[in-house]
Copies of this chain bind each other. A is one copy, B any other.
């Protein structure tokens, strides 16, 4: 009953096998080989356009180097108050971007809105050098609390960003989970709605270590080879990432693993709703479930072997509704979560 995080899983067997298969033989290093090139083509096919793809080592690297690519002197990046780059990356964006600032934005259930975004942007009047100036907007898809921006939400935020002359970044550490939740194509969830650059994550969805920065417009990526290398993020045996992505995309494996994870989350949510001891903080839209339970119930679940996280922040939307002895749990599912584990957890709740 491991629901601690989707990064507690290892690698999907198909991906592990493909990696092992590529262990033999020689290939040019630093990405200049056939396998890397082929995987880059696959990205173009998936996004239905020429994109520029750069493997990096972590989601934090993908985010921080995306922001670095979009930065400018005195630049400010706008992201939700709970975004990974705001609360979970130890200042990597600020550090790697050479001192850029993250402006945290409010918004219900983990999502910024055109209104909360514009209000924050307005704090930086044009040509007022003292305040600094906006540089980019970032949204997280799926969000840190398992909700998802709809296609219309993304388009509306992109419109606000464009109106202010700002590029739009998507932190897609859980890109696949959001994609299958919405039933959109990669193109529909990104550049067709105005997204300019994506942190494309494979690690949480079945890879060992497969993250990429994807520029929807390769023109914008001209400096990025240097940005990546200078940040010590250019793998020498880069094909070990390519081999993972090759298997990840083949026969739609990535969509299958994401659908499985989301289905397991829905199944968990069903158990929560059926339970007299728990209730949903909000409806899950991807692979994370947040039940409210009494503190003593949480302790009993842990004692019975369930592994999860006590969520550190009670979102404003439910805080008023929560009782004083209640805590918020975060349960995360992945390709490796079994129905059996979910149902055993359900049985504990019943």
Residues of A at under 8 Å CB distance from B? 2, 4-5, 7-13, 15-17, 19-20, 22-30, 56-61, 64-65, 68, 72-76, 87-92, 94-102, 129-133, 203-204, 208-209, 223, 225-227, 229-237, 239-240, 336
Q: How far is the CA of A26 from the CA of B102 in the complex (A)?
A: 33
Residues of B within 8 A of A102 (CB): 101
Residues of B within 8 A of A74 (CB): 90-91, 226-227, 229-230
| Given A2-B26, A73-B226, A87-B130, 18 new contacts (CB under 8 A) | A4-B28, A7-B30, A7-B236, A8-B26, A11-B23, A13-B24, A19-B20, A59-B236, A60-B234, A74-B229, A88-B130, A90-B132, A91-B230, A92-B229, A101-B101, A130-B229, A203-B237, A231-B231
Report which of B2, B20, B98, B239 forms a contact with A17, defined as CB distance below 8 A. Answer: B20
Q: How far is the CA of A74 from the CA of B224 in the complex (A)?
A: 10
Q: A209-B235, A230-B74 are in contact. Are A10 and B24 (CB under 8 A)?
A: yes
Q: How far is the CA of A296 from the CA of B72 in the complex (A)?
A: 39
Residues of B within 8 A of A94 (CB): 94, 99-101
Q: Are B89 and A99 in contact (CB under 8 A)?
A: no
Q: Are B232 and A92 in contact (CB under 8 A)?
A: yes
Report which of B58, B60, B72, B235 forms a contact with A226, defined as CB distance below 8 A. Answer: B72
Report which of B28, B203, B230 forms a contact with A95, defined as CB distance below 8 A. Answer: B230
Residues of B within 8 A of A226 (CB): 72-74, 90, 129, 132-133
Report which of B8, B96, B209 forms a contact with A240, defined as CB distance below 8 A. Answer: B209
Q: Are B237 and A208 in contact (CB under 8 A)?
A: yes
Q: Are B11 and A29 in contact (CB under 8 A)?
A: no
Residues of B within 8 A of A61 (CB): 232-233
Residues of B within 8 A of A72 (CB): 223, 226
Q: A29-B7, A72-B223, A240-B209 are in contact. Are A232 and B96 (CB under 8 A)?
A: yes
Q: How far is the CA of A258 from the CA of B12 in the complex (A)?
A: 31
Q: How far is the CA of A13 from the CA of B57 in the complex (A)?
A: 23
